Chain A
């Protein structure tokens, strides 16, 4: 079963606006990752945040992690049309037995940025 669930399922904004996507997960985790998928392509890794971190930045991306609420958010500032893609969070199984090799993806948020 999936560990992470993104919200909203779809998001449509204008260029220049900020886009916020959320990810909730069920069990404790070691780390959480965000990926982007352009239409017809494979997933591309964006950022990894560790369970002892609360916030991380990479360029126009800002990721937060709240382990008490079992949730993470991905903020893309000053969105561009090229940011149009699906965004996925991925988590490990945390403390639920052996988790090596297992990565759990959510259903994704489809972001559309209009010029």
Chain B
């Protein structure tokens, strides 16, 4: 089954404790992206990757890191999480980075709570 898989689905942690949210897709997509969703603010793009070893900042990259060493994986790293990073996070992918011309495939989300 074609899918985007995020792990973990839920995480409660404390300020400053490094964490990684994994994202994996099995559709051989070149493009992957991370969003955060907050009440009243909708989805905001954090980082995106046009292909392996190519990453770029979105609208809200501060406090996050990403890497794209393999085509299928695009982990989101919070080196020193803070409470303002408490949010619902989504990973998405598509065949290419021409995102306006094709549907995005989303994971089911990761709910992070930073205490």
A103/B99 in contact, CB under 8 A? yes
**Helix, strand, loop or mixed for chain A's interface?**
loop
A-B contact count (CB 8 A): 72
A101/B59 in contact, CB under 8 A? no
Within 8 A of A (CB), among B47-64: 48, 50, 56, 58-59
* In the complex with contacts A41-B108, A42-B106, A100-B50, A105-B35 CB distance below 8 A: yes
Contacts of A105 in B (CB 8 A): 35, 42-44
* In the complex with contacts A1-B59, A40-B109, A41-B109, A103-B45 CB distance below 8 A: yes
Contact count band on B = 20 to 34
The answer for the CA separation of A106 and B104 in the assembled complex, in Å, is 15
Chosen A-B contacts, 26 in total, with CB atoms closer than 8 Å, are: A1-B59, A30-B101, A33-B103, A40-B108, A41-B108, A42-B4, A42-B90, A42-B92, A42-B108, A42-B109, A43-B92, A43-B104, A45-B103, A48-B101, A48-B103, A92-B99, A92-B100, A99-B100, A100-B99, A101-B33, A101-B56, A102-B45, A104-B45, A105-B42, A107-B40, A108-B42
